[in-house]
Amino acid sequence: MADTRNAGRPLSPHLQIYRGGLTMLMSIVHRITGVALYAGTLLLVWWLTAAATSDQYFDFVQAVFGSWIGKLVLFGFTWALIHHTLGGIRHLVWDVGHGFNLKDVEMGAKLTLAASIILTLILWAIALGVS
């Protein structure tokens, strides 16, 4: 039987061949924020359940979310939501056939990252200013 392992076929690309870049990182972060949104939705369900259960339980959940660690988790959830949404918009632009050249792809990745950070900070500044 002939040895077909090296039959002149190219090796399948893997992480040791690819040069990591911003677009690769943004793809990974988009998936991670999707998972984070799932976990954050469970926190939203917990909060709504507490609101429907009793005043004491709702006050407990509010205290958890109002603690420094709760606010940190909510800040992360807010950033994940905004970042994932902006990444989805970027993919929608690609789906209609725009922004495929390398310069546009890199610029879209940079804008998504910068805008998600800026919008999160603005949203939290407004929220903290109101309360």
Q: What is the DSSP string of 22-86?
A: HHHHHHHHHHHHHHHHHHHHHHHHHHHHHHHH-HHHHHHHHHHHHSHHHHHHHHHHHHHHHHHHH
Q: Considering the domain boundaries, does residue 53 fall inside one?
A: yes
Q: Which CATH number do you get for residue 85? A: 1.20.1300.10
- Which residues sit in the known binding site for heme? 84
- pLDDT for the residue 29: 95
Number of domains present in the structure of the chain: 1
In a domain? residue 13: no
pLDDT at 131: 72
Task: Return the pLDDT at 117.
Answer: 98
pTM assigned to the model = 0.82
* Residue 112 within any structural domain of the chain: yes
φ, ψ of residue 60 in degrees (nearest 5): -65, -45
Q: Name the residue with higher pLDDT: 23 or 117.
A: 117
Q: What is the pLDDT of residues 56-108, one digit of tens each?
A: 999 999 999 999 999 999 999 999 999 999 999 999 999 999 988 989 999 99
Domain that holds residue 105: 22-130
* Within-domain flag for 43: yes
User: Which pLDDT does position 115 carry in this prediction?
Assistant: 98
- Which residue numbers belong to the known binding site? 84
What pLDDT is stored for residue 20 in this prediction? 75
Whether residue 3 lies inside any domain: the answer is: no
Is 11 among the domain residues?
no
Residue 104 maps to a domain: yes
pLDDT digits (tens, 9 = 90+) for 2-48: 555 666 666 666 666 667 789 889 999 999 999 999 999 999 999 99
- Is position 28 within any domain? yes
